[in-house]
């Protein structure tokens, strides 16, 4: 049993939460789009520029040595965060999107023949659909989609049927950004591996809400973005099993990813540097390291998970009390996200009226148009939670939604 979160103290650590919107306290419930940042992360960014700024992996001078050390410490931090076996299995990228593109281009592309298959699920974010479509079109491959049921759960038996001798990758979300569904990743990975199919997990919506253990999941690749887990934008990480990363060609050429260059031949650097061409987002990497330390060590992911589970249950009950509200996505296990529609009111109008009350939610298709189409709706309103949200904020949301009903009363 973990100690409950001291949310009041946590809120003190996020300066932006003191913002007033039109004179009302900000109620930030758009965490699936991006989370707010604790002051430790901002401080780490400033400290890098104020005391360490220099390029890494090349200077013999003092600052470069220090910056390189802090940069590589962040890599080890990501390794611990994901429980990867080795820091060399962590590649820094701009975010989940870039990580997926890296795997598509460098791992899947060379092994894809015409007629081969790529398998995704119906609840993917566009960034786990489009890179595969681009590859499909180039290689005359086939993109298969594992269906979801009316609750928004992937149907394991259906997915299993779609794993064929021609399947070259299964790419699926750990947690759906549009519905909050938590996929039974471990079970699906075992299924895929029994047929020799490697698995990429899009962890963008998962890492902020519960402990992720890539060795327990057994996945071949795991991608996430820093900004959705209290870190800076523009930085994320790809975990890949060392054996895969070793065998993969680099995907961008440039500095830092080489050992030696002549006009005749270039010898590539070892992993993970082989995949980090050019001067990286050093400040971002350091900020990401600080963010992961914050959620995993200073606060603790078990405590965060328990707090959010409570909030999700409370919010689900409170929202269902609102007349005409229907929750979209009622998966057996959900994390962080409640998508809903209000009868007779378009989500965009819901969002505008809530914004007048200082409540920030997301409205639209959430970059998951196939999910919207599956449920026969053009859009939803989505409230998404983080460690610093409170029951009082959920009450504010419910009150805001009653206000929406008043405005639209027939």
Partner 1 sequence: MSDLGDLYQEVILDHYRNPRNFGVLPEAGRAARGDNPLCGDKLYLQVRMKGDVIEDLRFKGSGCAISVASASMMTESVKGRTLAEAQALFERFHPMVTGRGAAEGLGKLEVFSGVSQFPVRVKCATLAWHTLRAALEGRPDAVSTE
Smallest gap from Cβ 36 to partner 1, in A, equals 21
Smallest gap from Cβ 366 to partner 1, in A, equals 10
The reply to whether 407 sits near partner 1 by the rule CB under 8 A is: yes
Smallest gap from Cβ 129 to partner 1, in A, equals 16
Q: Between 53 and 352, whose beta carbon lies closer to partner 1?
A: 352
Helix, strand, or coil (residue 301): helix
- Provide the residue count of the chain: 410
**Angle of CA points 14, 15, 19, to nearest 5°:** 115
Residue 272, preceding peptide bond in cis (omega within 30° of 0): yes
Q: Between 248 and 350, whose beta carbon lies closer to partner 1?
A: 350
Nearest-angstrom CA–CA distance, 91 and 104: 15
Q: Between 97 and 363, whose beta carbon lies closer to partner 1?
A: 363
* The two three-digit tokens of residue 245, written as one number: 């990363």
163 burial via Cβ count (<10 Å: 0-12, 13-18, 19+): buried
Smallest gap from Cβ 374 to partner 1, in A, equals 14
Smallest gap from Cβ 399 to partner 1, in A, equals 14
Q: Between 25 and 364, whose beta carbon lies closer to partner 1?
A: 364
* Interactions with partner 1, residue window 317-346 (CB under 8 A): 344-346
Q: Between 326 and 346, whose beta carbon lies closer to partner 1?
A: 346
The reply to whether 23 sits near partner 1 by the rule CB under 8 A is: no
State the residue for tokens 């940069």.
71
Annotated catalytic residue 219: no
Contact (CB, 8 A) for 401 and 322: yes
Smallest gap from Cβ 407 to partner 1, in A, equals 5
**Angle of CA points 277, 279, 280, to nearest 5°:** 85
Q: Which of 134, 367, 377, 399 is catalytic?
A: 367
Q: Between 335 and 345, whose beta carbon lies closer to partner 1?
A: 345
The reply to whether 408 sits near partner 1 by the rule CB under 8 A is: yes
Tell me the DSSP string of 67-129.
Answer: HHHHHHHHHHHHHHHHT-S-GGGEEEESSHHHHHHHIIIIIIGGG--TT-EEEEETT--GGGT
Query: φ, ψ for residue 280 (rounded to 5)?
Result: -80, 180
Closest CA to 325 of 400, 391, 252, 275: 400
* Torsion sign, CA atoms 268, 274, 277, 282: negative
Residues in contact with partner 1, total (CB under 8 A)?
Answer: 18
Helix (H) or strand (E) holding 189: helix 185-194
* Interactions with partner 1, residue window 343-402 (CB under 8 A): 344-349, 352-353, 356, 363-365, 372, 378-379
- Enzyme catalytic residues: 367
Q: Which residues contact partner 1 (rule: CB under 8 A)?
A: 344-349, 352-353, 356, 363-365, 372, 378-379, 407-408, 410
């Amino acid at each position: 049993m973990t100690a409950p979160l001291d949310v009041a103290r946590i809120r003190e650590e996020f300066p932006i939460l003191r913002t007033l919107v039109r004179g009302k306290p900000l109620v930030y419930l758009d965490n699936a789009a991006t989370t707010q940042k604790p002051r430790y992360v901002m401080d780490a960014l400033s400290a890098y520029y104020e005391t360490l700024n220099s390029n890494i992996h090349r200077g013999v001078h003092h600052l470069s040595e220090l910056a390189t050390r802090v940069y590589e410490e962040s890599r080890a931090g990501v390794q611990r965060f994901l429980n990867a076996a080795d820091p060399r299995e962590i590649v820094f990228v701009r975010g989940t999107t870039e990580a997926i593109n890296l795997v598509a281009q460098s791992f899947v592309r060379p092994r894809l023949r015409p007629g081969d298959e790529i398998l995704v699920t119906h609840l993917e974010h566009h960034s786990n659909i489009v890179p595969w479509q681009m590859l499909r079109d180039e290689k005359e491959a086939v993109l298969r989609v594992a269906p979801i049921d009316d609750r928004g759960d992937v149907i394991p038996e259906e997915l299993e049927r779609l794993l064929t001798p021609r399947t070259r990758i299964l790419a699926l979300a750990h947690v759906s950004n549009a519905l909050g569904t938590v996929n039974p990743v471990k079970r699906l990975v075992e299924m895929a591996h029994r047929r020799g199919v490697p698995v990429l997990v899009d962890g963008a919506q998962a890492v902020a809400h519960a402990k992720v253990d890539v060795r327990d999941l057994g996945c071949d690749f795991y991608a996430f973005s820093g900004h959705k887990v209290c870190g800076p934008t523009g930085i994320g990480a790809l975990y890949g099993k060392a054996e895969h990363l070793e065998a993969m060609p680099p995907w961008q050429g440039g500095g830092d990813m080489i050992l030696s260059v002549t006009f005749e031949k270039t010898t590539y650097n070892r992993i993970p540097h082989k995949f980090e061409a050019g001067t990286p987002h050093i400040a971002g990497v350091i900020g990401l390291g600080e963010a992961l330390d914050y959620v995993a060590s200073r606060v603790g992911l078990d405590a965060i998970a328990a707090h959010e589970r409570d909030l999700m249950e409370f919010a689900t009950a409170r929202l269902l009390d609102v007349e005409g509200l229907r929750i979209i996505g009622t998966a057996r296990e959900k994390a962080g996200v409640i998508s809903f529609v209000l009868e007779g009111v378009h989500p965009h109008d819901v969002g505008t009226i809530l914004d007048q009350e200082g409540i920030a939610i997301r409205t639209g298709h959430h970059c998951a148009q196939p999910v919207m189409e599956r449920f026969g709706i053009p859009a939803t309103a989505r409230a998404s939670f983080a460690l610093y949200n409170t029951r009082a904020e959920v009450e504010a949301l419910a009150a805001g939604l009653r206000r929406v009903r008043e405005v639209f009363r027939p």
